[in-house]
């Protein structure tokens, strides 16, 4: 560097290391969180291998020189092999595995059918295991790589999908120390949601929810309605938050005032089909009763153990 080089530049080496292009595998990349992650990783310079059972026919993730799609059920070992082989053949390394493909059943586990259980275990457990086994073996050889698992944010603190005493009991029985409940309280009077919104949350026809960034510019889950469909059909770039929000509110706010649920932004979690209380005190009473049931069973068990020990 010459003496005329600005001082702030002198600390930069003459030969900068070339930033290595990284490769990510994203399972369940045809919709929801997986699709958005795959797109964001690609925008940030990652080469991406996206998998789902029908990722090609879904046509949500476009195949390019830097994005490869692999169709197949990730709970099958042969799909895991094809996914990992695709990453290595096309891009050479695996830097990140996002285990995102997953099944969430919006009902209490006491109501799972045998088929529900089979699908959930296959996708959430086998679908995690086979691809992780192959990808981690490769990462060990490379001596780098990381893995994310999206099925559960935390087992100790269970957020999402709980709206009643049965869900609370199930979460605690599975090892959670606490739960976070949002949507079920949103459906209760006094929550800030208006009558139309609360009626949609309490509707007996379990509404479908979807993730979208078209409502605000940021990704969030809401009830799938006409407004979401119309916005999804528009093939244009979403404006950054909060501009997109301001734009969409020009429709959603008057719709809200007129009670038009089809044109409102109806935020809701995956527990929406389970909401049944319109009164927060009733919901709390049910949750407290569930906790008391658990405590009663624990005391009974302790009593039995003490009796056995004293014999």
Ligand X SMILES: NC(=O)c1ccc[n+]([C@@H]2O[C@H](COP(=O)([O-])OP(=O)(O)OC[C@H]3O[C@@H](n4cnc5c(N)ncnc54)[C@H](OP(=O)(O)O)[C@@H]3O)[C@@H](O)[C@H]2O)c1
Ligand Y SMILES: Cc1cc2nc3c(=O)[nH]c(=O)nc-3n(C[C@H](O)[C@H](O)[C@H](O)COP(=O)(O)O)c2cc1C
In this complex, which beta carbon is closest to ligand Y, that of residue 72 or of residue 161?
161
Interface of this chain with ligand Y, residues 198 to 237, rule: CB under 6 A:
none
- CA distance readout (Å), 257 to 103, 185, 188, 202, 264: 36, 21, 19, 19, 9
In this complex, which beta carbon is closest to ligand Y, that of residue 77 or of residue 160?
160
Q: How far is the CB of 127 from ligand Y (least distance, A)?
A: 23
Q: How far is the CB of 38 from ligand X (least distance, A)?
A: 10
Region near ligand X per CB under 6 A, out of 51-59, 62-70, 189-197, 243-251:
51-59
Kindly give, in sequence order, each residue whose CB lies less than 8 Å from that of residue 69, ignoring residues fewer than 6 positions away: 29, 49, 50, 51, 55, 56, 61, 63
Residues linked to residue 24 through DSSP beta bridges, in sequence order:
48, 96
Q: Is 294 exposed, middle or buried (0-12, 13-18, 19+ CB in 10 A)?
A: middle
| Distance in angstroms (rounded) separating the CA atoms of residues 174 and 278 | 28
Q: How far is the CB of 160 from ligand X (least distance, A)?
A: 5
Q: How far is the CB of 89 from ligand Y (least distance, A)?
A: 38
Among 180, 196, 249, 270, binds ligand X (CB under 6 A): 270
Query: 148 touches which of ligand Y, ligand X, none (CB within 5 to 8 A by kind)?
Result: none
| Distance in angstroms (rounded) separating the CA atoms of residues 30 and 37 | 10
User: Considering the rule CB under 6 A, would residue 159 count as an interface residue with ligand Y?
Assistant: yes
Size (the chain), residues: 311
Q: Which two tokens stand for residue 224?
A: 């799938």
In this complex, which beta carbon is closest to ligand Y, that of residue 128 or of residue 197?
197
| Distance in angstroms (rounded) separating the CA atoms of residues 227 and 82 | 38
Taking residues 264 to 293 in sequence order and writing x for each that binds ligand Y by CB under 6 A, - otherwise, the string is ---x-xxx----------------------
User: Considering the rule CB under 6 A, would residue 108 count as an interface residue with ligand Y?
Assistant: no
Interface of this chain with ligand X, residues 151 to 180, rule: CB under 6 A:
151, 153, 160
Instruction: Tell me how crowded residue 218 is: count the other CB atoms within 10 A of its CB.
Output: 13
User: Considering the rule CB under 6 A, would residue 171 count as an interface residue with ligand Y?
Assistant: no
User: Considering the rule CB under 6 A, would residue 203 count as an interface residue with ligand X?
Assistant: no
| Distance in angstroms (rounded) separating the CA atoms of residues 154 and 88 | 31
Question: With contact defined as beta carbons under 8 Å apart, do 184 and 162 qualify?
Answer: yes
Query: 31 touches which of ligand X, ligand Y, none (CB within 5 to 8 A by kind)?
Result: ligand X
| Binding positions for ligand X, rule: CB under 6 A | 27-34, 51-55, 58, 73-75, 100-104, 123, 127, 150-151, 153, 160, 211, 221, 269-270
């Amino acid at each position: 560097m010459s003496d005329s080089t600005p001082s702030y530049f002198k600390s930069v080496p003459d030969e900068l290391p070339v930033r290595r292009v990284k490769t990510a595998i994203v399972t369940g990349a045809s919709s929801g969180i997986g699709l958005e992650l795959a797109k964001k990783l690609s925008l940030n310079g990652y080469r991406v291998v996206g998998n789902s059972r029908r990722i090609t026919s879904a046509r949500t993730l476009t195949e390019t020189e830097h994005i490869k799609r692999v169709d197949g059920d990730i709970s099958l070992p042969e799909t895991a092999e094809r996914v990992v082989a695709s990453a290595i053949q096309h891009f050479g390394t695996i830097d990140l595995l996002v285990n995102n493909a997953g099944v969430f059943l919006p009902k209490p586990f006491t109501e799972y059918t045998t088929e529900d259980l089979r699908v959930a275990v296959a996708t959430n457990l086998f679908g995690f295991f086979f691809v992780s086994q192959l990808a981690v073996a490769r990462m060990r050889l490379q001596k780098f790589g990381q893995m994310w698992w999206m099925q559960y944010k935390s087992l100790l603190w269970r957020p999402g999908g709980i709206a009643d005493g049965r869900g609370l009991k199930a979460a605690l029985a599975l090892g959670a120390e606490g739960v976070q409940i949002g949507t079920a309280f949103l459906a209760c009077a006094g929550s800030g949601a208006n009558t139309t919104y609360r009626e949609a949350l309490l509707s007996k026809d379990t509404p479908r929810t979807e993730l979208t960034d078209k409502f605000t510019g940021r990704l969030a889950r809401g009830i799938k309605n006409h407004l979401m469909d119309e916005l999804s059909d528009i093939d244009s770039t979403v404006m950054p938050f909060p501009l997109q929000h301001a734009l969409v509110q020009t429709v959603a706010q008057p719709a809200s005032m007129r009670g038009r649920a089809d044109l409102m932004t109806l935020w809701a979690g995956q527990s929406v089909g389970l909401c049944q209380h319109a009164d927060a005190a009733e919901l709390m009473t049910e949750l407290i009763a569930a906790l008391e049931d658990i405590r009663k069973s624990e005391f009974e068990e302790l009593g039995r153990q003490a009796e056995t020990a004293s014999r």
